[in-house]
Amino acid sequence: MITMQTTVTSAARRSFVVALAGLVVAAGTFVSTPARAQALPEFADLAERVGPAVVNIRTTERRTARGNGMPEMDEDMLEFFRRFGLPIPNQPSPRGQRPQPDAEPQQRGVGSGFILGADGYVMTNAHVIDGADEVFVTLTDKREFKARVVGADRRSDVALVKIEASGLPPVRIGDVNRLRVGEWVIAIGSPFGLENTVTAGIVSAKARDTGEFLPLIQTDVAINPGNSGGPLINMRGEVVGINSQIYSRSGGYMGISFAIPIDEATRVAEQLKTTGRVSRGRIGVSIDQVTKDVAESIGLGKPTGALVRSVEAGGPAEKAGIESGDLPRIVGGVKPGSKSTVQVFRRGAYKDLTVIVAEVEPDRVRRTAEAETKPQAVAGTLGIGVSDLSEAQKRELKLKSGVRVEVAEGAAARAGVREGDVILSVDNTEITSARQFESVVAKLDKSRAVTVLVRRGDTVNFLIIRPLPR
């Protein structure tokens, strides 16, 4: 027991009570509690400093009445459809009605942007200006300029426009790598056309995969139609992202918003400024995540890199010797035509391969060969019946080895193995024939899980076959 006796004033007594709130007295021992939480940040100075660099972007198009009796859709709803890449209902087809030469410009949409340089370059979202006949940029001092579209990239949703002005207040570009989950950020933009509106929140996640070309920054900053293209700003007053998307079931903000990382956006903007288009490298592979189970089963240790599910025939990866099932640890996003070293993990060992990076082109669709032979081996332990691939099948599938699945039942069927799949390896052992497959399976430990590398169509995946409970 610890006792204290003293005479104190009312003010001192209050201070004393506050001091004791940071201590826990138990069994004669003082234990300090965590430091007092920090006060909420002050956003006013930040908004005042960065606000002048944020602009309102208004777009127009020349169009006539629909002629189909359907009412015009309001701009907020049009923005919703454009933001999510959805087809706009009741729109005339491109081959249908065309605007008359004397058609009056009509407002198409409202978005946001921010000034990159004092010479008039402004960054925004590609979907903000997509399809517009005219783009107008309004500054915070109410000056309005007709902008020239320098370029737009739909994959990253980044666009660059130019206004004829000088002495403009540019934003400061931040370092996305320093951004932390839980860090305070603010957005400035024109939601529903309300210019220079400030909202605040925190970073909810980094590198969120939404199925788009770039991993995005997830925040809980309020973002609504019209915010698109505006900056996401850290507490140092630096732009770390472009507000671009929301998750919504209603078309309005529901607590989840996404921003394009500014480092990626800046790289795109530089190419747009130089050439008016974006050139991306590719090595001709389709990749997937490496799960914990796959990493452990193939001896990789921990999940890292990316799983190569398919290799384009005749592409840079195939020429470099990369195979389906390899795990590349470094895939360089480098300029097409240059060389890049890719480290792969194949059958328990690392290997460095040199790839000449090509330029992104539309995906090619290839068909899969049909089975021409009957099962020659049935591996009862796994529940898989296989047959040898003919030479014609190997040529068409661009394979040197493997066997075709004719029967999949029991544990194999439960793991996802299907008839028509091609088995490339079992527990890191390359499969060259049905007879060899039977021999490999016969030596497996029946009490443990087995990793099978399977090709289905143009994709390759690791499936883990676990023994059925007895």
Active-site annotation, residues: 127, 157, 228
Query: Of 368, 359, 427, nearest to 398 (Cα)?
Result: 368
Residues with Cβ within 8 Å of 26's Cβ and at least 6 positions away in sequence, in order, are none
Query: How are beta strands 172-173 and 238-246 bridged, if at all?
Result: parallel
Instruction: Compute the distance between CA of residue 26 and CA of residue 212 in angstroms, rounded to an integer.
Output: 55
Instruction: Compute the distance between CA of residue 353 and CA of residue 326 in angstroms, rounded to an integer.
Output: 11
Q: Are 235 and 41 in contact (CB under 8 A)?
A: yes
Sign of the C-alpha dihedral, residues 348, 350, 354, 358?
positive
Q: Are 369 and 397 in contact (CB under 8 A)?
A: yes
Q: Are 123 and 265 in contact (CB under 8 A)?
A: yes
Q: Are 133 and 107 in contact (CB under 8 A)?
A: no
Q: Nearest 5°: phi and psi at 90?
A: 60, 30
- Dihedral class, residue 226 (left if φ above 0, else alpha if ψ from -120 to 50, else beta): left
Q: Are 435 and 387 in contact (CB under 8 A)?
A: no
Strand partners, 356: 339
Q: Are 177 and 207 in contact (CB under 8 A)?
A: no
Q: Residue 235 has which token pair?
A: 């507490």
Amino acid occupying residue 181: V
Residue 239, classed as helix, strand or coil, is strand
Q: Nearest 5°: phi and psi at 249?
A: -105, -5
Q: Are 220 and 208 in contact (CB under 8 A)?
A: no
Query: Of 393, 424, 404, 405, nearest to 324 (Cα)?
Result: 424
Query: How are beta strands 358-359 and 281-282 bridged, if at all?
Result: antiparallel
Q: Nearest 5°: phi and psi at 265?
A: -65, -40
Instruction: Compute the distance between CA of residue 371 and CA of residue 393 in angstroms, rounded to an integer.
Output: 8
